[in-house]
Structure 1
Amino acid sequence: MNSITQVQQDMLSRMEQFKTLSEGGQIKPAQLFEGQMPREGFATAFDQAIRAVDAQQHKSGALMAAVDSGKSDDLVGAMVESQKASVAFSALMQVRNKMTNAFEEVMRMPM
């Protein structure tokens, strides 16, 4: 399996995780009043996704800087990592846009 397909499969699995988390059970506000924040949830999953994309961007940047400075001659590897970072960032932005649209839609609902 090539690396682009692997990144796409990874992003699809993350999107499935987000979908599963968003379809979770009822909200339990009593947990918030008891001072216990839920350990797993959408915010945690989204934070992990952002951190993973950020790490991918930094890795890509470091490889490109190494090629630019002449420390590495693996241009193909650096370009593949750059494309992985680009796909991951694009997927993250699409998820963010979908979530923003969903939030706006909920806010427009009559009470």
Structure 2
Amino acid sequence: MSAPAIQAALAQMQALSTQATGQTGAATLPADVAGEPNGGFAGELQASLGRINAMQQSANQQAMSFQSGDTDVALNDVMIDMQKASVAFDMGVQVRNRMVTAYKEIMGMQI
């Protein structure tokens, strides 16, 4: 696929995205200047990755607290939170794999 064809397809996708969201004017960026997501697919993906990261950090902190002898942290809570973080990470990896597959399919299309 040639560069002009890719640019034309990208411009068409951006126009359709803008039309679907009801926006006019220039296309929006995935994040504003402060780095916060502004909606759309990219924003949701970024927010999901942030939630996965927060779950992992929370589970690790809880495990460290349990290991240090904190009596307020129960083993069953640690195990459940670690499993939730693991499942969330696995889901994130699967989403990434599907996005890579979709990208490869799109790049292989003939116009």
Match of 2:49, SS state, is: helix
Match of 1:66 in 2: 65
Let me know the Cα RMSD of the aligned residues.
Answer: 2.1
Match of 1:80 in 2: 80
The residue type equivalent to 2:97 in the other structure is N
- Which of 23, 26, 30 lines up with 2:16 in the alignment? 26
Query: What is the percentage of aligned positions where both structures have the same residue?
Result: 31
Match of 1:108 in 2: 108
Name the TM-score, length of structure 2 as normaliser: 0.68
Q: Give, in whole Å, the separation in 1 of the partners of 2:76 and 2:53.
A: 21
Structure 1 residues not aligned, in runs of 5+: 1-24
Q: Comparing both structures, which one devotes a greater share of its residues to helix?
A: 1
The residue type equivalent to 2:17 in the other structure is I
Q: Give, in whole Å, the separation in 2 of the partners of 1:86 and 1:76.
A: 15
Q: Could you tell me how far 1:30 is from its partner in structure 2? A: 4.1
Name the TM-score, length of structure 1 as normaliser: 0.68
Higher relative contact order (CA 8 A, sep 6+): 1
Match of 2:47 in 1: 48
Match of 1:98 in 2: 98
Structure 2 residues not aligned, in runs of 5+: 1-14, 19-23, 31-37
Q: Give, in whole Å, the separation in 1 of the partners of 2:54 and 2:60.
A: 10
Aligned residues: 84
Structure (1 or 2) with the larger CA radius of gyration:
2
